[in-house]
Each structure stands twice: as C-alpha cells, then as structure tokens.
C-alpha cells in the first residue's frame, strides 16, 4: 500500500484541470456527447431513433426525444429483471441505484455503472481542491462523517440495488479519495454500513469524540444528517462520556459486527478525555458553538445546505458558533452529478455550482410562465451548457454515460454567472413540487421562504422549528394549505398566542400572486398550521428508510401528495394543535 503522504491530492493540479476543462466548455460538451453516442450507438434504446452513427448535438436533439423517468422505467425494469442485451448502455449496468424517493414519494430505479463512480470522485476532488485553498487541512486529519449505507438487495435479475451513496461508500475508490483528501472517516465501515441507524449514529458520535483532536471536517451528504446527529448528541452525550471514561461500549449497541469493530477504536478507559468532554458540554450555552468546542481543530462543516436543506442552516450555524465556516456541498443526483461548489467562501444561501462539462451532456429548458412548465419539454427548444443566460431559470436535461439520454432531472436552477465558460447554477427547486389549490403555484422555494419568515417569530419565545412539510387539502371547498410544524416546544406547553401569530404570518408570507388573490376572495380557504409531537419527523424518516431509502440521502418531503397515505397518516396521528389563519379576515 502507498504511504498516506504519497496518496495526497495535488489540489493545484486538480484546479488546473478544472480551469482547463471549463475554458472551452462548449467544445468539451460536444466531445462528451460524441463519446457517449459512439460508445452507445448500438444499444437498443438509441437504435430506435435512427441516429445512423451521427454524434453531433443537432442530430441528437432532432432525433432523440426528451424523456422523464416514467418513459425509461420499462427499460430500467428489464435491466433489473436480468435481460443481458445492451438496452440502455453498452457498458454493463452492474448495479441499480434507488433514488431517495423522498422528493417524489416513491423510490425510483436508476442505472448505475463505473462511470458514475469516476464522476463522483472527480466532483469530490474538485470541490475539495477549492475548499482546501481556503480552509487547508493540516497533516493527516479525520472527518466526522455522518454517512450511512442503506440495505442492499438483489433485483429479480440478480443485480445489486441500493442507494447511490451506498454504492459510492462501498467502492474502494471512495476510501482512497478520502485518504488523499487527508480526511478519512473517523468511523469504521461496520458503523457506516450498520443495519440499525440509531446504533450507527451513536458510534459515529463516539468515534468523533474519541478522535476529537484529529477531526478537521464535520460532514454529511445532506445537512439534515448533521443537524439530526447533534440534536441527538444533546440528549445522549452523558452516555457517550461514560463509554469513553470506562472504555466500554454501551450495551445499547447490539450489533456484534459494530461491537467488535468499535473495540479497536475504544481501546481502554480514558477518564481524561471523558472529563474534558463532560466539562465542555456543561460549559456550552444552549449548545451554541458545540462543534468547534468539542472538535478544536475543525476547519469547516460540509454538506449540501441548499434546496430543501436550507431549513437546517440556522441550526447548523448555531452549532458552528460565530466563526466556523459552513461550506455547502456539491450538486448531484442518483442519475448523475451536475456541478461543484468552487466558491466555498460563499454563505450556504448564496452557494452556486459550476457545471463540470465532462461528466455528461447538459441541456437547459428555459422556464417561462408556470403553466408552460407542464408542456415545456414538448414545446421549448433547450439550449446548450454555454448558451444559458445569467438571471434566467431553467429545467435541467441530462445525458449520461450510465444510460440516460435527454432525461428530465426534474430540478429548476438559476444561472448566477459563469466560471470561465461553464455556468454557475443556483438550485431553485424541484419542478414537480408545487402546492396548488386554485390559481396558485407555490414552489418549494416559496414555501421555504414563507416558513423562514414565520419561524423567525419563534425565536422570541426561545423556540425553534425542527422540521416542516405541507399538504394541499382539497377535501373541503374551498381547499386550503396545511402546514405541519414540529418545533422544540414541549408538547404540553401552551404556546397558542405565538403559534396563531405564526399561522397568520405564514398565510401572509406566500408571495405567489395566485395565492394572494385567491385568499382575498376566499377561493383558497384559511391556511392551517398543525403542530406535531416531538419526534414526528424522525418517524417519517424511519418510514422512508424502511422503504430502502438511505439516511444519507434523506430529504424531508416538503409537500405530501394525497396518495401518500402512510406519511399523511403519521402526520395526522401526531398533531397536537391546529391553528387556522385569520390573516385575511
């Protein structure tokens, strides 16, 4: 095996490569499309469209249709069922990824092959190189990574299926890259891939504490996992301290695999470290600055903090204290990666993603009026990567090395600028997620903004919003928005006055013109704010994890569809109070 020092990533070389790739992104895109089509020209799916060996963008766009996941599902299903012929890609699809399903209600099957591992490593290395310029890792550190493998299973055809992040964490390249980035995970594999999420989380925290002086990065894929981890820490830290003092793993960890792996980390009693952590925990005020206090050498907190993760940034800031940087993670999906955060000093709210022009072929459909969105794929002419315009919003269409051709990813982005000739995108929202009753089209972003404004009122009462979701209730006439909140309020507390205020504020804070005008004439009814029992969103996460989704990819769904009976049932059975808006009375 190579010495760690020899493995170290040459950040400047990585940045140089990125600069050269993005100088003429248009040319790189053409070459990538050519390579994808040359490699896959003979596959069943593409043969249907009579490309006749043509690999140029014009022929590709003229002959191959824009599709959704639904259109490709029968093909993916056949691959999962074990058909050997090259259906979607010439390279064999060895694995099926399960997209988290939290955004769209049910997990989707997506083809996965080695090309996705390569692009994942390229993204990791590129964004690390830019981060490392600003916040260098010193020597060989460790990362407290709240990452979790999900269960893998075999499809009918014997292919392994699991979430994309699990496929990545299991790949040897992942470990090698983490070492090269001087921040391997502080937990053993048995913890990452444990069967029980609570046990894995406990041990991640314990390993982090044991190596607290070596931890230089605290991270996860999505910010939710970091916030969830430290909220848990707030309640279980005395047990963790006991384990460290005594050098004995708590009996709450039942997995023998994890227990034997942890024996190598928890090597004997360490009362000194236990006492230090104990003192530090008691010294914190409401856990403000917890991360730098416990991990004195941490350089930054890293994870996706944009899109549906924005709601957790406030709490992360609290844990990070005033000084420690929050660096928003990159932009990708189970289908493939899109862009890298090359401006790590930007606050999470301003984060953008520079598209890597060699990891796929990208097209962009300009978003017009909301009504157009539904027919957009059929009507509008998408533009290429370098033809997008600053200030405009687009839906992304991807063509990948893993069998997706002109595939609607379902995300809306805004072009904020360019890095050389590749665009820097801001994530706006999922295109299919809107609250809609009458003339209104409230997007995930609109909802987040309204919730932010209203949740600010909680601060005066020393309360916090833990998580939220929404539902368009059309069972009554007129229909109305229902917003579900879990807060830090004790279930028995009487917070009627403030909650009523929050409810009215929410109702007033939706900016969509259709919503406001419909509310004025009562063609949309009074908004309802439903307060949930503590722990309700953990139950929702457990439910999705039970479906095969990974905690690492979990995103609280911000809208619950009428057919999502299970989640609606969890919500409705956990409501402790309902407030009805008087904002438009």
Place of tokens 């368009």: 472
SS3 50: coil
316 interacts with ligand AMP by CB under 6 A: no
Using CA atoms, how far apart are residues 183 and 412, in angstroms rounded to an integer? 33
Minimal distance, residue 381 CB to ligand AMP, in Å: 23
Determine if 304 is a binding residue for ligand AMP (CB under 6 A): yes
Nearest to ligand AMP of 97, 487 (CB atom): 97
| For ligand AMP, the closer CB: 292 or 348 | 348
DSSP state at residue 139 = S
Out of 132, 306, 431, 469, name the contact with ligand AMP by CB under 6 A: 306
307 binds ligand AMP (CB under 6 A): yes
Number of residues lying near ligand AMP (CB under 6 A): 17
- Does 201 bind ligand AMP (CB under 6 A)? Our answer is no
Residue closest to ligand AMP (Cβ): 307
Q: Taking CB under 6 A as the rule, does residue 427 contact ligand AMP?
A: yes
Answer for which of 299, 419, 430, 445 binds ligand AMP (CB under 6 A) is 430
* CA gap 381, 371 in Å, rounded: 16
**What is the token pair recorded at 428?**
């706006």
In this structure, what are the phi and psi dihedrals at residue 579, rounded to the nearest 5 degrees?
-120, 140
For residue 38, the Cα-to-chain-centroid distance in whole angstroms is 33
φ/ψ of residue 476, rounded to 5: -115, 165
In the complex, minimum distance from the CB of residue 448 to ligand AMP, in angstroms, rounded to a whole number = 11
Q: Least Å distance between CB 348 and ligand AMP?
A: 10
Q: Does 556 bind ligand AMP (CB under 6 A)?
A: no
- To the nearest whole angstrom, how small is the minimum distance from the Cβ of residue 420 to ligand AMP? 21
Q: Does 400 bind ligand AMP (CB under 6 A)?
A: no
Edge-to-edge strand list for the sheet holding 383-384 = 331-333, 336-340, 353-355, 422-430, 407-419, 393-399, 361-366, 383-384
Record the tokens describing residue 236, joined without a space: 């279980």
Q: Where are the beta strands (DSSP E) in 378-459?
A: 383-384, 393-399, 407-419, 422-430, 434-435, 442-443
Q: How far apart are CA 200 and CA 206, in angstroms?
A: 10
Q: In what order do the strands lie in the sheet with 325-328?
A: 142-145, 215-222, 300-304, 325-328
Residues 330-369 as x/- pattern, contact with ligand AMP by CB under 6 A:
-xxxx-----------------------------------
Nearest Cα residue to 192 out of 552, 537, 540: 552
Using the rule CB under 6 A, give the single segment among 18-26, 122-130, 299-307, 497-505 that binds ligand AMP. 299-307
Applying CB under 6 A, the span of 96-104, 151-159, 166-174, 445-453 interacting with ligand AMP comes to 96-104
Is residue 149 a contact point for ligand AMP (CB under 6 A)? no
Binding site for ligand AMP (CB under 6 A): 99-100, 103, 164, 304, 306-307, 329, 331-334, 409, 411, 427, 430, 553
């Amino acid at each position: 095996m190579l010495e760690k020092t020899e493995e170290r990533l040459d950040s400047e070389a990585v940045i140089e490569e990125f600069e050269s790739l993005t100088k003429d992104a248009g040319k790189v895109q053409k070459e990538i499309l050519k390579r994808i089509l040359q490699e896959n020209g003979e596959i069943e799916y593409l043969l249907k469209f009579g490309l006749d060996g043509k690999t140029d963008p014009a022929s590709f766009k003229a002959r191959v249709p824009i599709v959704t996941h639904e259109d490709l599902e029968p093909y993916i299903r056949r691959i999962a069922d074990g058909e050997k012929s090259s259906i979607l890609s010439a390279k064999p699809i060895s694995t099926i990824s399960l997209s988290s399903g939290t955004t769209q209600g049910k997990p989707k099957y997506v083809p996965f092959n080695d090309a996705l591992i390569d692009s994942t490593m390229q993204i990791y290395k590129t964004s690390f190189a830019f981060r490392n310029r600003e916040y260098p890792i010193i020597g060989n550190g460790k990362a407290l990574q709240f990452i979790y493998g999900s269960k893998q299973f075999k499809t009918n055809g014997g292919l392994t299926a699991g979430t994309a992040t699990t496929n990545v964490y299991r790949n040897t390249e992942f470990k090698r890259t983490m070492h090269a980035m001087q921040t391997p995970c502080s937990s053993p594999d048995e913890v990452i891939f444990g069967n029980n999420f609570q046990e894995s989380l406990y041990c991640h925290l314990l390993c982090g504490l044991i190596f607290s002086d070596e931890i230089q990065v605290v991270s996860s894929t999505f910010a939710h996992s970091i916030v969830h981890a430290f909220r848990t820490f707030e309640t279980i830290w005395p047990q963790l301290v006991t384990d460290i003092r005594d050098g004995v793993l708590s009996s709450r960890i039942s997995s023998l695999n994890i227990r034997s792996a942890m024996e190598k980390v928890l090597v004997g009693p360490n009362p000194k470290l236990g006492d230090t952590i104990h003192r530090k925990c008691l010294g914190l005020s409401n856990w403000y600055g917890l991360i730098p206090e416990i991990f004195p050498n941490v350089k930054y907190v890293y994870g996706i903090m944009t899109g549906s993760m924005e709601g957790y940034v406030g709490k992360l800031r609290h844990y990070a204290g005033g000084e420690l940087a929050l660096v928003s993670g990159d932009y990708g999906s189970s289908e493939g990666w899109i862009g890298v955060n090359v401006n790590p000093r930007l606050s999470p709210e301003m984060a953008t993603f520079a598209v890597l022009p060699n990891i796929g072929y990208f097209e962009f459909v300009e978003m017009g009026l909301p009504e157009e969105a539904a027919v957009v794929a059929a009507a509008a002419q998408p533009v290429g990567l370098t033809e997008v315009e600053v200030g405009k919003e687009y839906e992304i269409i991807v063509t990948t090395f893993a069998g997706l051709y002109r595939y609607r990813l379902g995300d809306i982005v805004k072009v904020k600028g360019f890095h050389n000739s590749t665009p820097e995108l801001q994530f706006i929202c999922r295109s299919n997620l809107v609250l809609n009753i009458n003339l209104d089209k409230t997007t995930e972003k609109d909802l987040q903004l309204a919730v932010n404004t209203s949740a600010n009122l909680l601060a005066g009462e020393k309360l916090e919003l833990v998580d939220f979701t929404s539902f368009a209730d059309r069972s009554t006439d007129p229909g109305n928005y229902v917003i579900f909140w879990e807060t830090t309020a004790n279930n028995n507390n009487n917070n009627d006055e403030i909650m009523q205020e929050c409810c009215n504020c929410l109702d007033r804070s939706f900016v969509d013109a259709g919503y406001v005008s419909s509310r004025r004439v009562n063609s949309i009814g009074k908004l309802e704010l439903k307060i949930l029992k503590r722990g309700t969103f953990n139950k929702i996460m457990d439910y999705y994890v039970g479906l095969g989704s990974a905690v690492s990819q979990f995103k609280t769904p911000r809208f619950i569809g009428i057919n999502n009976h299970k989640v609606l049932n969890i919500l409705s059975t956990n409501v402790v109070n309902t407030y009805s808006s008087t904002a438009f009375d």
